[in-house]
Amino acid sequence: MPNPNLTKLKYISNYPGSIIESVQHLINSKKLTAYLKNKYPHPHHFNNDKLLREYVLELKAQYLKKSQPISKIEYDNKLHVIKNALGTHTSIARVQGSKLKRKYEIRISSIFKNAPPEFLAMIVVHELAHFKEYEHNKAFYKLCEYMLPNYHQLELDVRIYLTHLELIGEVY
């Protein structure tokens, strides 16, 4: 019979058992919110599409100067629910006369509108990295770490944050 005190931790299920146990302990002792609040006390201020665009383009200019221009950058309130994704990067090809033109887009799940700035940075860096590396391979993660040195820790913390949102149902 399963332990009733255990919560299914789908966002961190592929992490080592010690991490899962630590998060489970925080949940059981009702300290998950306090843990996140202590580590990431403030939300970012990029809470609309215009500010998000400026933020993404600033990071792109800093780290990916020679990559393709991005035509659309916005929050998407359907992203997490429909595509089970936190952010997407797309390229749309259109024929214009005799030329094939590509437009590139980044969409970030609206659950990050009021998240800590570190979490938004992690999602944006992830999507920007896909402009150079399409697959989640060593080169992709190396690029993510170049743009955001603590990328892997932030990815774990974002997953813990998603667990918090699922259990509590609100931003802390």
pLDDT for 74-103, tens place per residue?
Answer: 999 887 654 566 777 776 777 777 877 778
* Least confident window among 20-34, 74-88, 119-133: 74-88
Of 155, 102, 103, nearest in space to 126 by CA: 155
The per-residue pLDDT for 4 is: 46
Tell me if 11 sits within 8 A of 160, measured CB to CB.
yes
Q: Give the pLDDT score at 78.
A: 84
pLDDT at 169: 77
**pTM, full prediction:** 0.86
Q: How many CA atoms lie within 13 A of 31 on its CB side?
A: 9
Which ranges of 84-137 does DSSP label H, i.e. alpha helix? 117-129
